[in-house]
Amino acid sequence: MCTFKRLLVVALLAFAQVAVAQGYPNRPIRLIVPFGPGGSADAIARPLAEKLGAALGQPVVVDNRAGGLTVVGADFVAKAAPDGYTLFLMPGTHVLTPLLVQNTPYNPISDFQPIAYLGSQPYFVFANVQQPFATFDEFLAYAKANPGKVSMGVSDTVTLTIATALKSATNLDFVIVPYKGGGPQNADFIGNQISMAVGTPNMMQFVQSGKARALSAITPSRVSFVPQVPTVAELVPGSNFNVQTWYAIAGPAKLPRPIVDRLHAEIRRVMDDPEMRKRLDDQGVLKPADTSPEATLAVMREYQERMSKLVKAAGVKPE
């Protein structure tokens, strides 16, 4: 009888999950972006939300919740009801936050349900055109001759790690300036309030408009869409910079699998939409071979393991 009751409970729970999924969604969905407006994450989230909302028949509203190196936004999602109405634009930096923030109020892997892997982006080092250096070698020479006069903006865990590792590898004295997202960083960068910035291909718009220069790529080999930009590995002997970021959609843990599957299917269709694909290509977002929840979880775990070593080697300490 006990076995029968257990099977009955399991069957009823499964039936309830399917019933919930069949009526999903019946109200607006919130997409939490853990950065301020205007950055590369926002540039992905907004067109995705628009097209996903149209596909689901309910609005998907972007909610920017910046702060705490993504902790503010991520914590909101982790504590939300697992009903599919609170989603998370998860950046790669999310899985590294516990290394930089003491007493992070959630586990970045077990407290979240991966839904869809969106793709990866390389990082670059940019300089404002008003700075007295136009190449990476000139930056090295200028920073060496002018200790403390060069400032480099960072907007998340990984860019902070890159800047710290770069400072260590070059033995230079420049100032690292942290921001709560790409939007505020980019505003100061374009205004020449900071000399340089570490950012994604989203910042190539400033290069194209003549306001910035791309000095180097943080990749093992040159990036195909900007082959003229050298890598840090080419310019700093002995360095081994291979850093990228990625984006995924996730929800709170215990999100019912039927809702996960529904969202994944719709997101995959949206990401294959020609207009959406062009937007992503323009931002240098590389299309993944596998977008499944399982592939997303594998990316999260691999990235956390690999990048944790770089964070620790760079000497970045939790705040």
Domains and CATH numbers, the chain: 25-120+245-313 (3.40.190.150), 124-235 (3.40.190.10)
Q: Which pLDDT does position 306 carry in this prediction?
A: 87
The neighbouring-strand residues paired with 198 are: 125
- Judged against a pLDDT cut of 80, whether residue 6 lies above it is answered with no
* Structure token digits, residue 101: 């923030």
What would the pLDDT profile of 66-77 be if each residue is shown by its tens digit?
988 899 999 999
- Judged against a pLDDT cut of 80, whether residue 190 lies above it is answered with yes
User: For residue 92, what is the DSSP state?
Assistant: G
CA dist., res. 127 & res. 28, Å (int): 41
Non-local (6+) Cβ contacts of 258 within 8 A are: 17, 18, 20, 21, 22
Nearest Cα neighbor of 234 from 216, 213, 250, 256 is 216
Q: What is the pTM of this model?
A: 0.81
| Side-chain half-sphere exposure of 137, counting CA atoms within 13 A | 5
- Judged against a pLDDT cut of 50, whether residue 13 lies above it is answered with no
Question: Mean of the pLDDT values across residues 24-38?
Answer: 95
Least confident of 15-19, 92-96, 221-225, 276-280: 15-19
Q: Which pLDDT does position 207 carry in this prediction?
A: 96
Question: Mean of the pLDDT values across residues 117-127?
Answer: 95
Question: Mean of the pLDDT values across residues 184-206?
Answer: 95
CA dist., res. 14 & res. 216, Å (int): 52
Q: Where are the alpha helices (DSSP H) in 171-253?
A: 182-190, 204-208, 232-235
Q: Which pLDDT does position 3 carry in this prediction?
A: 62
Tell me if 24 sits within 8 A of 82, measured CB to CB: no
What would the pLDDT profile of 237-251 be if each residue is shown by its tens digit?
877 777 888 999 999
